[in-house]
Amino acid sequence: MPVFHDQLNREVHLPAVPKRIVSIVPSQTELLFYLGLDSEIVGITKFCIHPADKFKSVTKVGGTKQLNIDQIRALQPDLVIANKEENDQCQVEELMDICPVWISDIHNLGDALEMIRSVGSITGLDTMAHTLISDITAAFNNLVSSHLNLRVAYFIWRKPYMVAGADTFICNMLQKIGLVNVFKANRYLQITPTELVEANPDVIFLSSEPYPFKQIHAEELKALLPQARIVLVDGELFSWYGSRLLQAPAYFSELINNLTIN
């Protein structure tokens, strides 16, 4: 029986190439469809919205942290693809009693590319995965980052305010485009308005997800930091670590260009 290792270095035993896959992470679901696994994907979450036409037609098995375990069991999957951060540990452990579970753990671009390689391997699509990795790598190699040394706060939530800190995929993307994260604590952290003012970022990014920030929220923060540039950004292109990475460098280039000329 072939043995694979996931990104937690767990052994995942698969007797054959999986034919019934449940994917419970949006960016990895999009990747699986990109690789052409349309007929193999039997279950996704309600947040796996890309590609839109596939989202409409595939069974939804709950949210990333509120899965319907009985529904997943009824789908009789031979593989579940999960993520350490985005899924609930107890629920993932329950799924291990149903079928093999492969778990990703993504902190930076290198982790994302390794995830793509591994997913290609376990699904028998090594060549296509390798091509995707090469294309993403080339796009990031051509990315011209900012040399302005701008200090940025990247918001993911409101009430309470939450930002992306160090050791997150989002922070790694900020680094790729030459920006400095003002919040150095690891992972995601809750901050007060006073802490934001004390951090004094040059730029504030308000993400489109998981909280859908709008212009009204930019005005709210402008009252706290009138000198800061406040920009609404596409959260998917900063935090989805699958095939959407192909689109990220072009978006980042435009974003940096706008910060440079304004």
For 155-203, write each residue's pLDDT tens digit.
999 999 999 999 999 999 999 999 999 999 999 999 999 999 999 999 9
d(CA 162, CA 185) in angstroms, rounded, equals: 12
**Domain co-membership, 85 together with 42:** yes
**Domain co-membership, 135 together with 179:** no
pLDDT attached to residue 26: 98
Answer for the pair 128, 258: CB distance below 8 angstroms, yes or no: no
Q: Is 194 exposed, middle or buried (0-12, 13-18, 19+ CB in 10 A)?
A: exposed
- Those residues whose C-beta lies under 8 Å from the C-beta of residue 167, and which sit 6 or more positions away, are 107, 186, 187
**Nearest residue to 255 (alpha-carbon basis) of 92, 133, 89, 143:** 143
Q: How far apart are the first and last CA of the chain?
A: 58
**Domain co-membership, 100 together with 196:** no
Helices and strands (H, E) in the chain, number of each type? 11, 12
**Domain co-membership, 106 together with 79:** yes
**Domain co-membership, 20 together with 103:** yes
pLDDT attached to residue 262: 63
- What is the span of the domain harbouring residue 85? 3-140
Which alpha helices (DSSP H) does 59-207 contain, by range? 69-74, 89-95, 109-122, 126-141, 169-176, 193-199
Structural domain total, the chain: 2
Amino acid at 216: I
DSSP string, 17-62: S-SSEEE-SHHHHHHHHHTT-TTTEEEB-TT---SHHHHHHSPB-B
pLDDT attached to residue 260: 82
CB half-sphere exposure, 253, CA atoms < 13 A: 11
* Average pLDDT per 10 consecutive residues for the chain, totaling 262 residues: 94 97 98 98 97 94 98 98 98 98 98 98 98 98 86 98 97 96 95 97 97 97 96 98 98 92 66
**Domain co-membership, 91 together with 155:** no
**Domain co-membership, 121 together with 187:** no
Q: Which of 140, 162, 187 is a domain's end point?
A: 140
